[in-house]
Amino acid sequence: MSESAIITTNNVNLWYNGKRALESVSIKIPKNKVTALIGPSGCGKSTLLRCFNRLNDLIDHVKITGEILLDDKNIQEPGTDVVTLRKKVGMVFQKPNPFPKSVYENVAYGPRVHGVKDKDTLDTIVEQSLHHAALWDEVKDRLNDSALGLSGGQQQRLCIARTLAVEPEVILMDEPCSALDPIATAKIENLIDLLKQDYTVIIVTHNMQQAARVSDYTGFMYLGKLIECGKTVQIFEHPQEELTENYITGRFG
Amino acid sequence: MAEKFHTELQNLRQDTLGMAHLGRDMLRSAVDALIRQDPTLAESVNARKGEIHDMEVRLEEHCYHLIALYQPMAKDMRFIACTLKVINASLRIGRYGKVIAKIVKEISDKPHIANLMSLPHMADLVIDMVDDAIAAYESDNLTLIEGFSARDDTVDALRHSIFREGITYMMEDPKNISRCTHYIMVARYLERCADHTCKIVENVHYMETGERIEIK
């Protein structure tokens, strides 16, 4: 990868209760690109994703070795402020998980936590974030309605808007479309394409066609190892590793 | 589902091989009809043009269905891309057989000039190339297609030689003009068949390795 890397991992290993889930993973995530992680269930792709904002810290008995550099700073260092880290590295999950509050409050929540109090500033942030998440036109007249009344696809875009509101550098997406219908999926995929102008996106997906459609780079993982990582076109047209070839052509997994 | 898809790919390969053999047989029969001045054999080639056209449409549609339904990737995608080229090349080769067969009817009234010059030899070389290209597609065996560039050069040289020799016979006696023009055209058709065969070979190489080559 010739582009400058925003995240670099060097020889990362991770154990859950002594069971190894990641093995010597070294990957560079290029800035302002979409990188997809693919692989069969249990291969470690979500685990790797959760390393990037230290979400694995929330799980007991996890041991991590190796370096994870964000903007050349090792986020594994004990002095790292994880709140700031998670502001820089936002996350969107498989199932939309809006707060049981209004649409406005969902988006304004993050900036408020980080100290923004001025109403006009919050209004601007909410509007911009909803615009960026391609949701503004659909919700501008119902900002005070409950977020739980939105459709699944709208809720997921609201979660993306909520992430954008705190101005992250990187957005992690863990199977963001697996609970959505094809129309809502297409909207999220279009959005991912727009987001890369301003953000770096890392997406975990079990849907290889989705990885092929939305990403610039693809990493294939198997049994905790990063088998191959390269330009998406190369991975899907002519992978270097036989394991990758066999996986993406459906010969195993 | 992957198993069903791979069974479909195997069926596609078998059907495409059937079409490739049909195209090759049309060319072989047309050349034999030319050599033996056998209009009946030539007519049998002409009679198969509808069959090869129908195969082209059916097999292309099969490829498009597989792309639409299964979104193939990596080697599977390259196999279908290669198969589309094999289908096209086989149709062209079969059609050149048909065109040569049509000539047979026009020049079977008198003996051949100079035993057709080098045309029978040239045809053998081209049909050997077609056979090896088909076998490479069938067996994923790249050793069969080594040296294709040199073989294509030989075919090109023979076409040029037949052209010059034909001109010489025309200059000797204007009554030879019509017949020698047909010989020169047949040499040109055979050379085009070799070119289409090279296209098959280039695509078999891509199918196997993912790398593009050009046979010049």
Report the alpha-carbon distance of residue B169 to residue B100 in Å, rounded: 21
- pLDDT recorded at residue A3: 78
Q: Which residues of A touch B76 (CB under 8 A)?
A: 249
Structure tokens at B176: 């030879």
| Contact yes or no for A210/A198 (Cβ under 8 A) | no
- For residue B27, the Cα-to-chain-centroid distance in whole angstroms is 7
Q: Does the distance separating the beta carbons of B5 and A250 come in below 8 Å?
A: yes
- pLDDT recorded at residue A1: 53
Structure tokens at B198: 């090279």
Amino acid found at A83: V
- pLDDT recorded at residue B164: 96
- pLDDT recorded at residue A233: 93
Helices (H), B37-118: 39-46, 49-70, 74-106
Q: pLDDT of A31-66, one tens digit each? A: 999 999 999 999 999 999 999 999 998 888 999 999
Report the alpha-carbon distance of residue A109 to residue A159 in Å, rounded: 11
| Nearest CB partner across the interface for A239, out of B72, B74, B211 | B74
Structure tokens at A223: 């049994």
Identify the residue among A207, A218, A231, A249 best suited for mutation to test binding to B, counting B beta carbons within 10 A and taking the highest: A249
Residue B1 pLDDT class (50, 70, 90 cuts): low
Sheet strands side by side (includes A5-16) = A19-30, A5-16, A62-70, A73-74
Neighbours of B188 (CB within 10 A): 14
C-alpha pair distances (Å), A101 with each of A86, A141, A171, B32, B185? 22, 16, 23, 84, 81
Report the alpha-carbon distance of residue B177 to residue B168 in Å, rounded: 10
Query: ipTM value of the model?
Result: 0.74
| Contact yes or no for A168/A174 (Cβ under 8 A) | no
How far is B129 from chain A, CA to nearest CA, in Å?
A: 27
Q: How does the average pLDDT of chain A come out, rounded?
A: 94
Alpha-carbon dihedral B70, B74, B78, B79, rounded to 10 degrees:
-60
